[in-house]
Amino acid sequence: MRKWILLSAIAISCLSCVKSGGVIPNVAVNFQAATTDPRFSALNVPGGAVLVNGYGVAGLILYREADGSYAAYDRCSTVDPSKLCAVTLDAGNFTVTDPCSGGKWALSSGNPVKAPAVTSLKAYSIEVSNFEIFVSN
């Protein structure tokens, strides 16, 4: 009986080591840019989105909401974060797609809208003040 309990405990412990899926590693993010920079002009209108490389796990997506607020997400797909697949903007800038899996997310919320995506994109804090964009975690 003891051996059975011990074997069960080991099996459960090994199964819990299986990839949990969707967990993007925590990395320090401190991004700052001028809103007047032409590379960020898409953010001047609601629905505009910009990709920024070199920050976060796989880059950043900055998005201007319909109500004028902003959102910032990591580009790393949550389908299989170990692959470090960077999502790409779809036509119209309202969704992004993981080129490795085909998963899709809405930029308005970061929530998945097409399988195999089941976990939201990793969101970061974003503030726009005095013609400056600040993204951090």
Domain ranges of the chain: 25-136
**Strands 60-64, 70-74: pairing kind:** antiparallel
Q: Which CATH number fits domain 25-136: 2.102.10.10, 3.90.79.10, 3.10.270.10, 3.30.9.10?
A: 2.102.10.10
pLDDT of 92 reads 87
State residue 89's pLDDT score. 97
Dihedral angle sign, alpha carbons of residues 104, 107, 113, 117: positive
CA nearest neighbour of 85 among 72, 96, 100, 95? 100
What pLDDT is recorded for position 93?
80
8 A C-beta contact, residue 35 and residue 127:
no
Check residue 21 and give its pLDDT: 61
Mean pLDDT by runs of 10 across the 137 residues of the chain is: 42 39 90 96 95 98 96 98 97 94 97 98 97 96
